[in-house]
Amino acid sequence: MSHVLLEISGSIALLTINRPDKLNALNGDVVGELACQLAGLEKNLDVRVAIVTGAGEKAFVAGADIAAMSNLTTAEAKHFSEVGHDLAARMEMSRLPLIAAVNGFALGGGCELALACDFIYASDNAKFGQPEVSLGVIPGFGGTQRLARRIGVGRAREWCMTGDIYSAEEALRVGLVNAVVPRPELLERVKATASKIASKGPLAIAACKRVILRGQDQGLDVATELESQAFAQLFGTKDQREGMKAFLEKRTATFEGK
């Protein structure tokens, strides 16, 4: 059985973590399959946006598979962490915008997986947290770093040190998620946003993602230079010419990603 289901509809890919009997907990197989699916989507230029969600009614990803981790050696734990970091980096560096549709528990590795996406929509029953300290460890897939960048250092310390679990509304309040919607409406809401993004210039979308990511830890002068370079480079593309021509002609642009 595949642990990551892939469904492509037009320009939108839906990736579903598929271990509902284990609340979609992450293990090496799941992480490897997700990385493999993302690599394939990178090569499919017809796909312009990807959505990540979890199978079943209870969980996005409830965490890493504790049974699989409990007897890891130090070296094995380091390797598992590195595999998770590699997946998160692949997600962040992808040309594709990735939207997390968090439809239940997003704890530990699940919260970290959502954080590696470009932004997060949550159902009203979603729960977030980094409870690893309750197990005597810390987040290992980037949670201490991406959470701090998303909600601020003070709150990230509180989340990681208490191990508390937070509601979707609290996650919205602190800026972790972009929207909270009723559970039955979540995927349709995310797909609507994905469709809107997919209709825009794909080279511009990829540049937007790249510049925001690379600029966030730079000084403003360096970051704005990154923006200026990317802005200028897009003027050498067919998409820029088509986009501006369509605007002047008062019609919808047809972008080719060239």
Nearest-CA neighbor of 30 among 98, 113, 106, 115?
113
Q: Which residues pair with 14 in a beta bridge?
A: 7, 51
256 as an active site residue: the answer is no
Give the whole-angstrom CA distance, residue 93 versus residue 210. 7
The one catalytic residue in 76, 82, 92, 112 is: 112
- Sign for the pseudo-dihedral over CA of 200, 206, 212, 215: negative
The one catalytic residue in 92, 132, 158, 256 is: 132
Name the 3-class secondary structure at 183: helix
Give the whole-angstrom CA distance, residue 82 versus residue 118. 20
Burial grade of 75 (CB within 10 A; 0-12, 13-18, 19 or more): exposed
132 as an active site residue: the answer is yes
Measure Cα distances from 242 to 46, 231, 236 in Å. Answer: 18, 16, 11
Q: Catalytic residues, which ones?
A: 112, 132
